[in-house]
Amino acid sequence: MLALVTKTIERNRMLKKGDKIVVGVSGGADSVCLLDVLNKLKDKYNLKITVVHINHCIRGQEADRDEAFVKALAEKYGNEYKAFSYPVEKMAEENGTTVEEMGRNLRYYSFRKIAGEKGKIAVAHNKNDNCETMLMRFFRGTGVKGLGGISPVRGNIIRPLITVDRNSIEKYCNENNLNYCTDSTNNDTEYTRNKIRHNIIPLIEKEFNQSIVDTMYKTAEIMAGEEEYMDRHARTAYSYCAVGDKVLSVEKLLDLDKVILKRVLRLGFIDFSADLHDVSYEHIKSVESLLYKKNGKVVQLPHNLRASRINNCIIFSKHIEHKEVSYKLEPEEPKYIPEIGKTLLISKKNLTNPKILYTIPFDYDKIKGDFYFRNRKAGDKIYLNGVGGRKSLKKIFSELKLSKDDKDSITLLAVDNDVLWIPNYKTSDMYKANEDTKNVVYMYLKEKEN
C-alpha cells in the first residue's frame, strides 16, 4: 500500500518538501487510511498536516460520534485539527440543490478556508469512487472529460489513494489495527452514488466484467489523455477566435470543426466559473445556435451565465449586481480598474510593451476636459462617421437589442457626455487621431501592473 501510494504521489507530483496539507477526514476507512499513510510519509516530505472534519448534522449522535473519533485520531498523530458543522439538509433546501451537492460544496469550502492559497487539500477518493463517478456521469450524459474520471490532481487538490481499490484500503486498515467509523447513510440507496455502488456495480461484476473497477480506471486514464490533447487544441482555437476579452468572432467560430467549436464555446465561460458541470451539452448547443441568428439574441445558462450575439460576435458574461464606476484618468498615471481587471493609461508617449492589450490614438487638441472611465449615463453620445454625427448610446444599444443587464454592465471612456471608446463595441470617429493630427495622446489597456 505505502509503495503504491508513494508511486502515485511521485508520478503525479502531488507533494514537495515542506508542503502544508489539509486532509479531509470523515472517519471512514478511506480517509483513516489516507491519514495514516500521509503521517507515515510526513518525515520524508516534511509535511505539516491539518485534519479537517465536516459534520453535516444529518445523522444525530452518529455524526457526533464520528467528529469525536476524528478529533481523537488527529491527537493520536499529533496533527492540527479543525472541525466545521453545517445544517446541510436545510441549506440544500434553501439553495434548491441536492443534499449530496450541498455537502460537497461545503466540504471543499471548508478545506480551502484552512488550506489558504499555498496549502494543498488531500482527499480520499479511491479507484472504486472513480468507477462510480464515471458511471454516474455516463448515465446523466457526458463527454470525453466526464469519462476521464476523477483526476489525481486538480489545482491544489490531491488524491493519493486514487490507484487503490476499496478492498485493499479495508485490508490495510485491518492489518494496521486502524479503527474506523461506518456511515449508516452509505447504505441508503436513495442516494445515486450508493445505488450505483450497491446495486449496479455488483451486477456488472457478476454478469459482465468482474474487474470493472480496474477496467474503468484504465479507460479513465485513456480518456484523460485524450481530454488533455483536445483541451490544448481548443485553447489554441479560442485564441484564434478571440477579438476581445470574452468576445469571439462569429466568422472565425464558423471556421472551426464542430468538436472543437463546442469546446471553444465552453471555454468562453471558464473565467466565470471554475466548475462548469451544470453547463450541459444542451446549453452549449444553445450557445452554438447564436452563430446562425441575428444580432441581439441572448442565451441564458445556469449560475447567471449568458452568451449574447452582438456585432457578429459572441460575448460571454455573467449577471452581477452593478455598482457605480467612475475613475478619473490623469495623464501618465496608470489606473487599475478592478471592475475589468485591467489597467488604463492615458499617455503622450508611444509605448511598446507586451502587457499592452489594446491601444487607441486620439487627437489631444480636440479633447476639452478630463478623461473618465465610468458607467454609461443619460445623454451619452458617440460620434460615428457612418451616421454623420453624434448618436446616443441609448439608440445604439436599442438597435443592438441589448438587455438591461448588458447595458448596465457596460463601462466606457468619456469626456463629459462625449464618449471616446466603448470596449468591445465602438470608438468615436471624432476623436481618433489621423494623418492631420498634430498632438496625439494614447489610451492603453494593459494587464494589471505588479
- When pLDDT is averaged across residues 220-244 and rounded to a whole number, the result is 95
Give the count of beta carbons closer than 10 Å to the beta carbon of residue 279: 19
From 214, 192, 161, select the one nearest 34 (Cα to Cα).
161
Shared domain for 363 and 389, answered yes or no, is: yes
| Alpha-carbon gap, residue 257 to 277, rounded angstroms | 23
pLDDT at 322: 67
Looking at the domain assignment, is residue 231 inside a domain?
no
Same domain, 262 and 188: no
Structural domain includes residue 218: no
Q: Which residue has the cell 464558423?
A: 254
pLDDT single digits (tens) 362-403: 999 999 899 999 998 888 999 998 878 899 998 988 887 777
Stretch 129-133: mean pLDDT, rounded? Answer: 96
pLDDT for residue 276: 65
Residue 222 lies in a domain: no
Q: Which range has the top average pLDDT, 261-275, 359-373, 415-429?
A: 359-373
432 DSSP assignment: B
- Counting other chains too, the contacts that 238-242 makes at CB distance below 8 Å and 24 or more residues apart are 238/264, 238/267, 238/268
If asked whether residues 126 and 7 sit together in one domain, one would say yes
At residue 28, the pLDDT reads 94
Same domain, 171 and 40: yes
Do 314 and 265 touch, CB atoms closer than 8 A? yes
What's the confidence (pLDDT) of residue 367? Answer: 93
The structural domain count of the chain equals 3
Assigned domain for 392 exists? yes
From 276, 302, 318, the end of a domain falls on 318
Asked if the structure places residue 154 within a domain, the reply is yes
Q: In the β-sheet with 153-154, what is the strand arrangement from edge to edge?
A: 80-85, 48-55, 20-24, 120-122, 157-158, 153-154
Q: Are residues 254 and 106 in the same domain?
A: no
Q: How many percent of the chain have pLDDT more than 70?
A: 97
Give me the residue label for grid cell 494496521: 176
- Decide if 45 contacts 15 (C-beta within 8 A): yes
- List b or e across 192-213, with b for residues whose CB sees 16 or more CB atoms inside 10 angstroms: eebebbeeebeebeeeeeeebb
93: number of Cβ within 10 Å: 13
215 is a domain residue? no
What's the chain's average pLDDT?
91
Q: Are residues 33 and 155 in the same domain?
A: yes
Task: Please determine, for residue 210, whether its predicted confidence score (pLDDT) is greater than 90.
Answer: yes
pLDDT at 70: 96
**Is 70 exceeded by the pLDDT of residue 284?**
yes
pLDDT at residue 98, as a whole number: 83
Predicted pLDDT at 450: 54
> What are the tens digits of pLDDT across the range 55-109?
998 888 989 999 999 999 999 999 999 999 999 999 988 887 888 889 999 999 9
At residue 266, the pLDDT reads: 92
Model confidence at 36: pLDDT above 90: yes
Shared domain for 79 and 186, answered yes or no, is yes
Residues 331 and 311 in one domain: no
Host domain of residue 153: 2-210
pLDDT in tens, 43-66: 999 999 999 999 998 888 989 999
On whether residue 13 sits in a domain, the answer given is yes
Query: Which one, of 222, 166, 151, lies nearest residue 33 by Cα?
Result: 166
Same domain, 302 and 351: no
Which residue, 302, 318, 334, sits at the end of a domain?
318
CATH number of residue 267's parent domain: 3.30.465.60
Same domain, 24 and 162: yes
Residues 41 and 149 in one domain: yes
pLDDT score for 407: 82
Give me the CATH number covering residue 66. 3.40.50.620
Asked which of 318, 345, 380 is the last residue of a domain, the reply is 318
Q: Taken in order 187, 191, 197, 201, is the CA torsion positive or negative?
A: positive
Q: Are residues 121 and 55 in the same domain?
A: yes
Residue-wise pLDDT tens digits, 157-183: 999 999 999 999 999 999 999 999 988
19: pLDDT strictly greater than 80 = yes
Query: Does the residue 131 lie in any domain?
Result: yes
Q: Measure the CA–CA gap between 308 and 111, rounded to whole angstroms.
A: 36
